[in-house]
Structure 1
């Protein structure tokens, strides 16, 4: 469900950018062609705003139409910006569902426990987790920042054998698809030695 929403949002972004880019490109090419006289010398030397356009702009309804168009454009731009800020993190995780009710857990509780557990491993400086996709079958995105002298293979084995096993057990799931990204911190710079 969240994956479908993000795909639709990405498709909408691409389509919108293609449309806006095409309109701006066509307008720019048309203005360049007119300015260079490719569409006739009379058109290139004519005033930018002719008498007919002046008469149209003098109508009383024009400012109201311009304001309405500006409001619609502003609303669409604001909506687009809000969609960009949405993330696919689930709010609640469903542990059980039946006719008598639901057993739910906040995503932040599961995430916080996992982050705390992994952050306590030797060599891990920071752990950031997100549970995404769906409340029934969440996916894990885990970003680890390791110390420059950390044993990466050992950290990976502990995350896979302990942290992910504990997460699956606490959520009552057989599997939790995970993407784990590990990065190293920059080594500390050596202080300059004094030659004195």
Structure 2
């Protein structure tokens, strides 16, 4: 079975969650054990004992170099992991037409996205339209955030987005389908609306 970008993203997210749960559980267990030992729950002798005595001389120097040699790569790996979590998954280019023998025709993601946002933003009742093309250049997915007026007809807007703007985008990308997730929010009415003079 061919693995899709969506299934890869789900597997990566699941791996991240499992890793964070395991690290969190280990740190919580170590913290609870240290707290119990320090408060004397595991015996007075353990509570009064010195946690660690750093050796002096050559052994201490060698040990300090060893700690640094382990800590620096661990910190760099942790930093890389944090940076990867912040990635949005947005693609830069979209493959419009791929030909294994002669190459591929590409389009910038920004051009496609801006045209789509402009089209949807012009519909009645739409305050703001923000789109992102995610996953991969070959199998793009669309995420659309819409902010609507509080009296907008959501069902009618969705029909219009699907039949007009999305259809135009699929035609531009030469695709029969473009999986799309739409998140809709409405603007709150003003707290003290001013009445028009009668």
TM range (shorter): 0.7 to 0.9
TM-score normalised over the length of structure 2 = 0.84
2:49 to 46, 52, 76: 46
Q: 2:90 matched to which residue of 1? A: 89
Quick check: 1:94–1:104 contact (8 Å CA) kept in 2?
Answer: yes
Q: Is the 8 A contact 2:89 2:135 kept in 1?
A: yes
Change beyond 3 A, Cα 1:22–1:28: same
Tell me the SS of whatever aligns to 1:148.
Answer: coil
- Deviation, 1:40, is 3.5
User: What root-mean-square deviation, in Å, do the aligned CA atoms of Structure 1 and Structure 2 show?
Assistant: 2.3
Structure 2 residue aligned with 1:21: 24
Distance 1:67 1:189 in 2: 58
Q: Which moved more, 1:57-66 or 1:73-82?
A: 57-66
Q: CA deviation at 1:121?
A: 0.7
**Which consecutive segments of 4 or more residues in structure 1 shift more than 6 A?**
none
Cα distance in 1 between the residues matched to 2:96 and 2:15:
33
Which TM-score applies when normalising by structure 1?
Answer: 0.84
Superposition deviation, residue 32 in structure 1: 3.1
In structure 2, the partner of 1:33 is 36
Note the C-alpha offset of 1:10.
1.5
Deviations along 1:54-87, whole A, 9 cap, x unmatched?
4369612122223223312320221011111112
What residue number does 1:134 align with? Answer: 136
- Give unmatched runs, 5+ long, in structure 2: none
Moved more, 62-71 or 124-133: 62-71
Give the Cα separation in 2 of the matches to 1:16 and 1:78. Answer: 15
